[in-house]
Structure 1
């Protein structure tokens, strides 16, 4: 445990929540993607579960490796003192980004804009602008 704390620059026990939440987030992202790419040709539910859990673990590891590749670059660029702070920043980005993406669809529905009523050339840039506004002021 001391090695783990040293690797993540953890000085207090309360800071252990961030690596734990990071692992939960990686597994959640892996599960979300695994359920989206799951083929519908399984004959038995057991194979479905094995496929989803296997792909979830593989994707969580891929996402972890990507984060570990990005961490050193961003720590220097953002002048962050501890590695656990980077996990906290990633969690905040994930929550605000996901929330703004989820909230942009109902807002566009209220305005009366959907994919069927306008060209994709206008719909997607408009949706991205609304997402960026949510992220900035959320």
Structure 2
């Protein structure tokens, strides 16, 4: 455990919650992917495939951490886990917010052409993604990172004059 804490630069025990949460989410995702790939088969095979997917994804994510640690300039390695969790939570949350909002507006695939419906859905999802990214980043203690990330992204899509 001491080596683990040193590697991820964990100074306080509460910071261990982030790797635990990240591994739990990765395990759940691996199980869902395995279940999607092989339905109605032996549960032992499902567990084995889940373990293989888990290890492959873990290896890939650790590789990405190595690359992004230099690019994102975080103070501690454990903050990368926090940042990844914010991105994952925000992506899912923006869909959960967009769907009821579109229904509340009375928009459906029946009363709008399919292209227009999906375009509206993507636009509303994008707007809520931007808002939720900063808010959830704040909840995870990464407000500064996500506020800077947000400004950089909005500048790239042409909202430069609103941010200066």
The TM-score range, normalised by the shorter chain, is: 0.7 to 0.9
Q: Specify which structure has the bigger relative contact order, considering alpha-carbon pairs within 8 angstroms and separated by 6 or more residues.
A: 1
Aligned CA distance change for structure 1 residues 113 and 61 (closer, same or farther; 3 Å): farther
1:66–1:116 Cα change, 3 Å: farther
Q: Does 1:123 align with 2:117?
A: yes
| 1:95 shift after superposition | 1.2
Distance 1:66 1:123, change over 3 A: farther
The Cα shift of 1:134 comes to 1.3
Number of aligned residue pairs: 132
Instruction: Name the CA distance, whole Å, in 2 between partners of 1:51 and 1:95.
Output: 29
Could you list the per-position Cα deviations for residues 64-123 of structure 1 after superposition, in whole angstroms to 9, with x for gaps in the alignment?
Answer: 122112112222221112111000111111112111112222222222333454444333
The verdict on how the C-alpha distance between 1:69 and 1:120 changes in structure 2, with shifts beyond 3 A counting, is farther
What is the TM-score of this pair, normalised by structure 2? 0.70
Q: Distance in 2 between matches of 1:20 and 1:90?
A: 13
- Identify the residue that residue 5 of structure 1 maps to in structure 2: 5
Unaligned ranges ≥5, structure 1: none
Relative to structure 1, is the Cα distance of residues 124 and 57 closer, same or farther in structure 2, using a 3 angstrom cutoff?
Answer: farther
Following the alignment from structure 1 to structure 2, what is the Cα–Cα distance between the partners of residues 38 and 3?
37
Alignment partner of 1:23 is 2:23: yes
Once residues 99 and 84 of structure 2 are traced to their aligned partners in structure 1, the CA distance between those partners, rounded to angstroms, is 23
Residue 86 of structure 2 corresponds to: 92
- Alpha-carbon distance between aligned partners in 1 of 2:46 and 2:15, rounded to the nearest angstrom: 31
> Where does structure 2 lack aligned partners over 5 or more consecutive residues?
133-164
Q: Secondary structure at the match of 1:126?
A: helix
CA RMSD in angstroms comes to 1.9
